[in-house]
Amino acid sequence: MLGDCALTTVGREPGKPVPLALLAAAFLFNLGQGVLRPSMPLYLERTFAANYRMVTLIPVVFGAGKWVASLPTGYLLRRLGRPLMICGLLVIACVDVVSMAVTRFDVFLGARGLGGLGWAMFATVATTAMVDRRGAHQRGRSVSLLLISETSGLLLGSAVGGWLYQGVGAASPFLFEAACMIVAAIAVAGWVSRPPASASPSPRPHEHGALVTVLRTPGILLMGTTSALLTAIQTGALVFLFPLYLATRGGVGPEGVGFLVSLGVLGRLAALWLGGELSDRWGRMRILIPGLLIYATLLGSVAVVGDAMILGALSFSIGAAAGLVAAIPTALVGDQVPQELQGVAIGWLRAMTDGGQIVGPLVMGALADAIDLSAPFILGAALLAATACGCRLRAKAMSPADPPV
């Protein structure tokens, strides 16, 4: 099993070590999820003769399962602790086994919804662990490390998922994901059995008042809205509509579309660490506000560009802008709430994020059908700019738990 490794910066007070076991589990978790991405539609068509509506129901029910479970997991974390993470991993492994065995689509759909519950259990505990630091001076980098692990796993899994389906068998991606979940559970077994280093007797607010206390904290509602917006744009505009834009407006073929989309993922990976590092050094809002404005400018530029080379540069730049701001809302929530409320706060934040994943594709798709394919990018840019203005107005009320060192 993997141990802990302290990642500190010269001149800074060392915080709690970043758990390498957790980062490895996050990578494996998303590696398994990534393998299913390209192979799931093929499996549905082969097994259930699925139409487009049936295929799109899968991410909807999966996202709904995540949304339902995120906030309850935050509450349960305060009572049951880190072992919830292993429960989530085992739930997904069981769902994969069931998915291979069922022959009815409605049962398959229900199983994938339960998989969303397992995702929420793992992701909420993992995120809470990364924001549970002794000080704000390393929290941004901790969240960035988690996001880098997740993105790397998704990138590699998506690259090999189609090959695995074709070369090994239609059910092999489910077996692969189940194996990843089991290995991830083994990797974190030793870590979850140890009590948090910061554990100390502290008064707990009543369960029914914990969420109210969190939501009354300055800036929490704004950060939840920001996180939901970032996810809605990512899933609604960039994942689903940007490839269509590349093909129809940029005249790019299927291979070129895949390459240009991958540039966005690489840009995100390149900027994730930078965003966490800079926000730790200079302050969250000093990075988040200009980052949102840069993101808005780049996203809006898509609507007026038709050249494939410029679209490729925009894809990388948009991915980098998204990566720059991705970790900051979570880190800022960790700054604002006390340690005993972080599980509830992160559970609520992830519920907001999952809501953006559900609503984003529905709204952006409807907008593209009703107006034009460029309309979602313009709307996304306007919403990002408005959010940056909101952050500017609320910046003074959102001071970190302790100032950057």
* 331-365 confidence digits (pLDDT tens): 999 888 888 888 899 999 999 998 888 888 888 88
State yes or no: pLDDT of 12 exceeds 50. no
The answer to whether the CB of 19 falls within 8 A of the CB of 82 is: no
C-alpha distances (whole Å) from 189 to each of 81, 118, 243 are 13, 16, 40
More confident position, 287 or 396? 287
* 260-294 confidence digits (pLDDT tens): 888 888 889 889 989 888 988 888 999 999 999 99
Give the three-state DSSP class for 18.
strand
Average pLDDT of every residue of the chain: 84
Same fold, 15-196 and 206-396: yes
C-alpha distances (whole Å) from 270 to each of 29, 35, 177, 327 are 21, 22, 26, 13
Predicted local distance difference test score (pLDDT) of residue 135: 56
Helices (H), 12-104: 20-48, 52-80, 83-101
Domain ranges, ordered by start, for the chain? 15-196, 206-396
Superfamily of the domain at 206-396: MFS general substrate transporter like domains (1.20.1250.20)
pTM: 0.81
The answer to whether the CB of 348 falls within 8 A of the CB of 290 is: no
Q: Which of 32, 177, 199, 210 is nearest to 100 (CA)?
A: 177
Write phi, then psi, for 56 (nearest 5 degrees): -75, -15
Torsion angle in degrees (nearest 10) through CA of 327, 71, 131, 88? -100
Tokens at residue 240, please?
Answer: 């689903």
Tokens at residue 89, please?
Answer: 């991993």
DSSP for 281-333, written as a single string: HH-HHHHHHHHHHHHHHHHHHGGG---HHHHHHHHHHHHHHHHHHHTHHHHHH
Identify the top-confidence range among 7-11, 222-226, 254-258: 222-226
Q: Which residue has the tokens 């349960």?
A: 76
Predicted local distance difference test score (pLDDT) of residue 399: 52
Predicted local distance difference test score (pLDDT) of residue 211: 84
Residues near 89 by Cβ (< 8 Å), separated by ≥ 6?
25, 29, 118, 122, 181, 182, 184, 185
State yes or no: pLDDT of 70 exceeds 60. yes
Residues near 198 by Cβ (< 8 Å), separated by ≥ 6?
16, 132, 134, 339
Predicted local distance difference test score (pLDDT) of residue 118: 92
Q: Which of 339, 347, 343 is nearest to 402 (CA)?
A: 339
* 73-120 confidence digits (pLDDT tens): 888 887 887 888 999 999 999 999 999 999 899 999 999 999 999 999
State yes or no: pLDDT of 254 exceeds 70. no
State yes or no: pLDDT of 403 exceeds 50. no
**Which of 65-74, 125-134, 171-180 is predicted least confidently?**
125-134
Top-level CATH class of 15-196?
Answer: mainly alpha
* 155-205 confidence digits (pLDDT tens): 888 778 778 888 888 889 999 999 999 999 999 988 887 666 544 444 555
